[in-house]
Chain A
């Protein structure tokens, strides 16, 4: 059910985003991209927590906000210092997304069995 709600929310958001697009200045697109990556990681983390019965809405929501904000700030800080700090966020969130997907897959397979 949680997967269905997530996919529906995502699809609805994309549809609204296509027809009423938000204008993102080119200079901030990198930071928005990082924030979106962190957001997707949080969603996968939330699904994993739900399936493992460890889900907490407050933790999920605050994680989404803080992770997105920190990812964008890390990118900005890296740009100011001349270091590709955004790579740290990309690697961390990217690998966590893989891990979360793997865990979700295992939990679902166990439930099927």
Chain B
């Protein structure tokens, strides 16, 4: 009788230990995935996202209006008899810059290519988050990139880039990892900008996302 009681006590403790262990085992994984989900646009307040989209649409509209204005001015100066060649060249240059920013013309020149690979195998796969992408793109713009493309899809001032599950959506187009980011502009400055300690490359390495940076000349980005 005493032996039965002890065996029962042991099985009770074993069941408690097993179930507690099972629950505890899943807690860190669950906490991690919830933390990662909070970093994506999917979990953000739809009102904030709507505001961001509206701002971007407004910005795109402003740029298109600006481009039209400049084109009209060019046409006007070309028609008028008192224009100077310098004014026309300046305005044409301005129109080209605006066309570059809106992605209307293809470009070629020295630049850098960043190849980003996620680690999909193993017990804890690494995943590129929206924030990583935005940080990388903003760093490139800030360090002298004139034109950027993601897997061949050219970005403009009003482009939207975000993760949608395993895919990456660029202006509504779906593309997959690995991600090849091409940037034409001040190559040295962009290269140095990415290598800054604690910068985006360090952040990606820390999260075990592979990023290879190469200088390419000439780099072509289509419209």
Q: Interface of A with B (CB < 8 Å)?
A: 1-2, 5-18, 20-26, 29, 32-33, 35-36, 39-40, 42-43, 46-47, 50, 55, 57, 60-61, 64
Q: Is B81 an interface residue (CB 8 A)?
A: no
Determine the residue in chain A with the shortest Cβ distance to B43: A26
Main secondary structure of the interface of A (DSSP, over half): helix
Hey, which chain B residues are within 8 Å of A26, CB to CB?
A: 33, 36-37
Inter-subunit contact B25/A29 (CB<8 Å): no
Contact size range, B: 20 to 34
Inter-subunit contact A61/B13 (CB<8 Å): no
Inter-subunit contact A9/B20 (CB<8 Å): yes
Main secondary structure of the interface of B (DSSP, over half): helix
Q: Is B52 an interface residue (CB 8 A)?
A: no
Q: Tally A-B pairs: CB < 8 A.
A: 113
Determine the residue in chain A with the shortest Cβ distance to B42: A26
State whether A61 and B19 are in contact (beta carbons under 8 Å apart), knowing that A2-B12, A10-B24, A55-B12 are contacts in the complex: yes
B window 1-40: CB within 8 A of A: 8, 11-13, 15-30, 32-34, 36-37
Inter-subunit contact B30/A43 (CB<8 Å): no
What's the Cα separation between A57 and B24 when bound, in Å? 19
Inter-subunit contact B21/A12 (CB<8 Å): yes
Q: Is B123 an interface residue (CB 8 A)?
A: yes
Inter-subunit contact A23/B23 (CB<8 Å): no
From residue A45, how far is it (CB to closest CB) to chain B in Å? 11
Hey, which chain A residues are within 8 Å of B16, CB to CB?
A: 2, 5-6, 9, 43, 46-47, 50
